[in-house]
């Protein structure tokens, strides 16, 4: 939006002298911001690739600061009322050339002047309505950035709170599982102790002795290991019994020497009465013989 230039409004200026650049190069950039709102002018200079834009931006900010401090005019009500560049002194330098001659070098300078003035009430209202229609309002870039930073911090705090809650929940679940595991272990130990106590007090084979110290664990015709030694055969008990497989092996069979006895039997009948039986191969052989 270009605003008409008037000289009867409150204004402020800034002049930068002896800028090491030709006035013609500076005037190209000044033509881009003349009559624009100061915020729009600063954005235009920020996007310009010309070197002169940097010095002009400094001068424009200085003029805006003078208006804020000396005239008490808010930045939102200022526009670039005038801007121009005058030629400064030219620094003359020489470059050696052939045959003792010298080539002249002109290093030009310029003076940059920028004036900012307050817009009229109609122009201010028109700009505010236009900004409101676009949905951007008059919020500055710094205010937008502050809002984004505040939102980001809130998101970070919410994420940290969720993480802490998840950790607390996980810790509570682990504690509950450990407590349940301890209770199950205690219950299992109590059941084992109860089972051992019952088995120690019951004489299942009715031979007058309890099972914990029973010499005949499978009734008459059976004999427990002597001192837990599977190779120490009790006298009169030659048949080996395997308690896990419920098989018995008679002397001379193919598995007899390879079997570690877990219980001894006096006769095959005693082993079969206790629930033991011959290996399948020996049962088939016995059936064929019959």
181-218 pLDDT, tens digit per residue, is 676 666 666 655 554 444 444 444 455 444 444 677 88
CA-CA-CA-CA dihedral for 244, 248, 252, 255, to nearest 10: -30
Q: Is residue 77 part of a domain?
A: yes
Q: Is residue 204 part of a domain?
A: no
Q: Is residue 28 part of a domain?
A: yes
User: What is the extent of the structural domain holding 270?
Assistant: 213-289
Number of domains in the chain: 2
Q: Are 221 and 231 in contact (CB under 8 A)?
A: no
What's the whole-model pTM score?
Answer: 0.44
Q: Is residue 57 part of a domain?
A: yes
Of 119, 137, 167, which marks where a domain is finished? 119
Q: Is residue 56 part of a domain?
A: yes
- Note the pLDDT of residue 59: 96
Q: Is residue 172 part of a domain?
A: no
- Note the pLDDT of residue 21: 95
Beta strand segments in the chain, E: 11-19, 78-87, 91-96, 102-107, 110-118, 222-223, 239-242, 247-249, 263-265
Of 89, 119, 149, which marks where a domain is finished? 119
Of 96, 119, 142, which marks where a domain is finished? 119
Q: Are 249 and 255 in contact (CB under 8 A)?
A: yes
- pLDDT per residue as tens digits for the range 127-183: 888 888 876 544 566 667 777 888 888 888 887 888 888 888 888 878 877 777 676
The closest alpha carbon to 30, from 81, 70, 74, belongs to 81
Q: Is residue 126 part of a domain?
A: no
- Note the pLDDT of residue 167: 85
Q: What DSSP character marks residue 137? A: T
Q: Is residue 205 part of a domain?
A: no
Per the prediction, the chain carries an average pLDDT of 81
- pLDDT per residue as tens digits for the range 37-48: 999 999 999 999
Our separate counts of H helices and E strands in the chain read 7, 9
Indicate which CATH number applies to the domain containing 78.
3.90.470.10
Q: Are 159 and 166 in contact (CB under 8 A)?
A: no
């Amino acid at each position: 939006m270009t605003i008409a230039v008037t000289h009867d409004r409150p204004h402020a200026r800034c002049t930068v002298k002896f800028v090491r650049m030709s006035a013609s190069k500076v005037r190209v950039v000044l033509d881009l911001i003349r009559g624009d709102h100061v915020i729009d002018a600063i954005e235009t200079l920020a996007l310009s690739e010309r070197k002169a834009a940097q010095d002009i931006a400094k001068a424009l900010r200085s003029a805006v600061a003078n208006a804020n401090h000396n005239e008490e005019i808010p930045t939102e009500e200022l526009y670039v009322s005038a801007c121009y560049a005058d030629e400064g002194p030219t620094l003359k330098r020489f470059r050696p050339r052939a045959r003792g001659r010298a080539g002249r070098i002109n290093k030009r300078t310029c003076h940059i002047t920028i004036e900012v003035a307050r817009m009229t009430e109609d122009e201010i209202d028109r700009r505010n309505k236009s900004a409101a229609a676009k949905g951007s309002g008059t919020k500055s870039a710094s205010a937008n950035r502050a809002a984004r930073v505040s939102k980001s911090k809130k998101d970070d705090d919410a994420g940290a709170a969720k993480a802490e809650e998840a950790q607390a929940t996980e810790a509570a679940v682990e504690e509950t599982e450990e407590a349940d595991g301890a209770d199950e272990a205690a219950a299992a130990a109590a059941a084992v102790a109860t089972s051992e106590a019952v088995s120690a007090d019951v004489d299942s084979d009715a031979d007058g002795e309890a099972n914990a110290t029973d010499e005949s664990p499978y009734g008459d015709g059976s004999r427990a290991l002597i001192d837990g030694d599977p190779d120490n055969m009790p006298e009169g008990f030659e048949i080996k019994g395997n308690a896990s497989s419920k098989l018995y092996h008679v002397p001379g069979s193919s598995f007899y020497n390879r079997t570690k006895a877990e219980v001894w039997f006096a006769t095959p009948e005693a082993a079969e009465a206790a629930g033991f039986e011959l290996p399948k191969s020996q049962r088939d052989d016995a059936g064929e013989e019959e």
